[in-house]
A and B are shown apart, each in its own frame.
Chain A
């Protein structure tokens, strides 16, 4: 098949070439967790760790750690029962979010481990992390030339012609970047048998059992964990808690200790931008105008703005903000947060305490909550993500009786 070369020429290749795209439908899929892929990723991991630039980027190091052989073998054990033949669906076309440097690499690896040929659109913004990872991939491809057809990392400006062309080649399309990007990509049709995985706009919450928190010795560690869940991504990742729900019998004491610790850390580590204080005050007033009983809590400065609510309503998350803006709710019955969790935009529930306490809420049938994970782990990527079982969705299962 000859593809429109005018359109192809507008694509910039960080990994791979346009020749591979031209013959892409002829490339065969691999099996789920194929050994060649595991070896290739392990080599890539070593290349990343060898690169002196990597040390400056904890997100790059975390990624390299995740694709080591020992880590992938664990995933294999978890997601591959080897009872059936499972093959990659074919061509996976990934659109990575423009604002998270390393996300494209996780998406790529999900596509690779499931045996697919991958075309990954990386962020148009030139993050150094993208360069470090694509350099390592290119080095690994010299060592593993048989993998070349499976890894393409490309960059292009918003361009519907390119979206159309690559979507027409895809057996599965993976769209990150939220609602607007999804609706943009939906204008480009897929083949009848092709599937799509979309990562829409989501919000997340944290639930802290005050008694359990007070028992924790290393409160500074908790502050670090919470920082990584929130401020590290300007509290604007889909996984970042926008509200902290307090349970247990020592709510007031716990809040004081928790936020004092957090404040010290934020003051030390976070880069504040002038407009952020104005943004947060605006959101707090909008929430107050809408809902009775909202209180903007006393604060030293605009680094952390906390807004207490008397009850949790469905509308509250319309007024969510980022960069250190938290709603807080004192909760004596976990079912009272159901209005937030009913919405299918509700994604991660980060917790300190006993996860069993969420069972009544989960089995009540709420449409939200795809992950219940400890605070500090909300950003940890897994092959079941955002409610999608990626190994299942990115492979084809062959029935043989």
Chain B
């Protein structure tokens, strides 16, 4: 089964049985493919004595901890076929993941993303406000997670502006002009959760206190990147929605969960506040003690699988996030597949030992 067989299926139309069959077939093929083409990956599967004839479901396939992509250069293509290298957005001094893409995988990421996002925004392109600064996407060969997100979503924008300048200052005049020009039209807005809060929301509040307001009630805001930094500011999901609505009237706000190691098959939040797995990917929660699959409603470590990665062995990954599967095929929003929530990152281990610990592992 190839990616092209999957791309034409409507992204939330398969029930659990159909999806399991499709994923099992595709992911087994990807496993065999990467085994042939990535020596390190093959060594890892050899270490597990992995035998694909014993696999009944994609849930039986091995998973690689995402941290491996920080330590190793894992790819299943030759260097000359690498068209893009994506990196995770680690803070200074931290190791970053390096994900190598060829033309096919890069293009399939885009195709999957279009299918997923249009299910929420409609298929026509819209004027788009990117709540970030233009310099993030300058280097087109090396992409940070932020840059990749912006470029990924940019295909939904007809006309685009960056709302922030390179000093992360809100471009008030530019924004005003843009909104006047496209008055009455649906407007797509995209950015990273913390950036939106810090550099957009807070600035809008300051402006409003000075008598300047913006009406974004026609906007659709999609944001991702996680809540970690906002938790330290004590801003919850609901608070985020309410406060943004208060300051600019925006009603449609969608969070998404995704990672640079599996770009493309993002998990969008629906109208009911649930993150959804499309047919291009799935989440499995696993018990920390033995990696067995959790029951629905039970918190576990998130494993993600994706049908996209062909250029690197990242089709089955164990993340360092914790979450809960809330249900499958029965979300009131009507989309099939699993829906879930993310609780946050796993805590670093607190261990004893003679060597003083300096936070270097992550």
Q: Name A residues whose Cβ lies closer than 8 Å to a Cβ of B.
A: 97-100, 103, 176-181, 199, 201-202, 233-234, 236-239, 272-279, 281-282, 284-292, 294-296, 300-303, 307, 322-323
Binary CB contact string for chain B from 296 to 329 against chain A (1 if under 8 A, 0 otherwise): 0000010000000000000000101010000000
Which B residues from 40 to 89 make CB contacts under 8 A with A?
40-41, 43-44, 46-49, 64-65, 67-68, 71-72
> With the chains together, A300 CA to B348 CA distance in Å?
23
Would you give 26 A-B contacts (Cβ < 8 Å), ordered by A?
A97-B354, A97-B356, A100-B354, A176-B354, A178-B354, A180-B355, A181-B356, A233-B352, A236-B351, A238-B354, A273-B347, A273-B349, A274-B288, A274-B347, A275-B348, A275-B349, A276-B288, A279-B361, A281-B318, A282-B68, A282-B71, A285-B47, A286-B68, A295-B47, A302-B290, A302-B291
**Residues on the B chain within 8 Å of A287, using CB:** 47
| B353 lies within 8 A of chain A by Cβ | yes
Query: How large, as a class, is the contact surface on chain B?
Result: 35 or more
| B357 lies within 8 A of chain A by Cβ | yes
**Residues on the A chain within 8 Å of B352, using CB:** 99-100, 233-234, 236-237
Q: Are the C-beta atoms of B320 and A237 separated by less than 8 Å? A: no
User: Beyond the given A277-B288, A278-B65, could you list 11 further A-B residue pairs with CB under 8 A, ordered by the A residue number?
Assistant: A98-B357, A99-B355, A99-B357, A100-B353, A178-B354, A238-B355, A273-B349, A274-B288, A279-B349, A294-B43, A294-B46
Q: Which of A275, A290, A291 has the most CB of B within 10 A?
A: A275
Q: Are the C-beta atoms of B346 and A295 separated by less than 8 Å? A: no
| B239 lies within 8 A of chain A by Cβ | no
Q: Name B residues whose Cβ lies closer than 8 Å to a Cβ of A.
A: 40-41, 43-44, 46-49, 64-65, 67-68, 71-72, 288-291, 301, 318, 320, 322, 346-358, 361
Q: Are the C-beta atoms of B290 and A274 separated by less than 8 Å? A: no
Q: Per a CB cutoff under 8 Å, which of A98, A178, A322 touches B351?
A: A322
Q: Per a CB cutoff under 8 Å, which of B288, B346, B353, B358 touches A302?
A: B288
> Shortest CB–CB separation between residue B355 and chain A, in angstroms?
3
> Shortest CB–CB separation between residue A322 and chain B, in angstroms?
6
> With the chains together, A294 CA to B45 CA distance in Å?
10
Q: Are the C-beta atoms of B72 and A322 separated by less than 8 Å? A: no
> With the chains together, A237 CA to B356 CA distance in Å?
11
Q: Are the C-beta atoms of B65 and A98 separated by less than 8 Å? A: no
Knowing A236-B353, A273-B350, A303-B289 are in contact, say whether A294-B318 is a contact too (CB < 8 A).
Answer: no
Of chain B, the residue at the smallest CB distance from A178 is: B355
> Shortest CB–CB separation between residue A224 and chain B, in angstroms?
18
Q: Are the C-beta atoms of B291 and A286 separated by less than 8 Å? A: no
Q: Per a CB cutoff under 8 Å, which of A103, A273, A277, A285 touches B44?
A: A285
Across the A-B interface, give the 9 residue pairs with the lowest CB-CB distance, nearest first. Answer: A178-B355, A236-B353, A288-B47, A301-B290, A274-B288, A289-B40, A234-B351, A177-B356, A282-B65
Q: Are the C-beta atoms of A278 and B346 separated by less than 8 Å? A: yes
**Residues on the A chain within 8 Å of B348, using CB:** 275
**Residues on the A chain within 8 Å of B347, using CB:** 273-275
**Residues on the A chain within 8 Å of B71, using CB:** 282, 286
Q: Are the C-beta atoms of A99 and B354 separated by less than 8 Å? A: yes
> Shortest CB–CB separation between residue B274 and chain A, in angstroms?
24
Q: Are the C-beta atoms of B355 and A323 separated by less than 8 Å? A: no
> Shortest CB–CB separation between residue A387 and chain B, in angstroms?
14
Q: Are the C-beta atoms of A274 and B353 separated by less than 8 Å? A: no
Q: Are the C-beta atoms of B290 and A300 separated by less than 8 Å? A: yes
> With the chains together, A65 CA to B273 CA distance in Å?
60
**Residues on the B chain within 8 Å of A277, using CB:** 288-291
> With the chains together, A393 CA to B72 CA distance in Å?
43
Q: Are the C-beta atoms of A278 and B356 separated by less than 8 Å? A: no
Q: Are the C-beta atoms of B49 and A295 separated by less than 8 Å? A: yes
**Residues on the A chain within 8 Å of B358, using CB:** 180
Q: Are the C-beta atoms of A323 and B72 separated by less than 8 Å? A: no
**Residues on the A chain within 8 Å of B65, using CB:** 278, 281-282, 285
**Residues on the B chain within 8 Å of A303, using CB:** 289
> Shortest CB–CB separation between residue B312 and chain A, in angstroms?
13
Q: Are the C-beta atoms of B67 and A282 separated by less than 8 Å? A: yes
Q: Per a CB cutoff under 8 Å, which of B43, B67, B290, B301 touches A289?
A: B43
**Residues on the A chain within 8 Å of B40, using CB:** 289
Of chain B, the residue at the smallest CB distance from A296 is: B47
Q: Are the C-beta atoms of B43 and A288 separated by less than 8 Å? A: yes
**Residues on the B chain within 8 Å of A307, using CB:** 47
> Shortest CB–CB separation between residue B232 and chain A, in angstroms?
20
> Shortest CB–CB separation between residue B44 and chain A, in angstroms?
5
> With the chains together, A181 CA to B290 CA distance in Å?
35
Q: Are the C-beta atoms of A289 and B72 separated by less than 8 Å? A: yes
> Shortest CB–CB separation between residue B50 and chain A, in angstroms?
10
Of chain A, the residue at the smallest CB distance from B65 is: A282
> With the chains together, A179 CA to B354 CA distance in Å?
10
Of chain B, the residue at the smallest CB distance from A319 is: B71
Q: Per a CB cutoff under 8 Å, which of A274, A281, A282, A322 touches B346?
A: A274
Q: Are the C-beta atoms of A99 and B67 separated by less than 8 Å? A: no
Of chain A, the residue at the smallest CB distance from B320 is: A278
> With the chains together, A277 CA to B289 CA distance in Å?
7
> Shortest CB–CB separation between residue B316 and chain A, in angstroms?
13
> Shortest CB–CB separation between residue A319 and chain B, in angstroms?
10
Q: Are the C-beta atoms of B47 and A237 separated by less than 8 Å? A: no
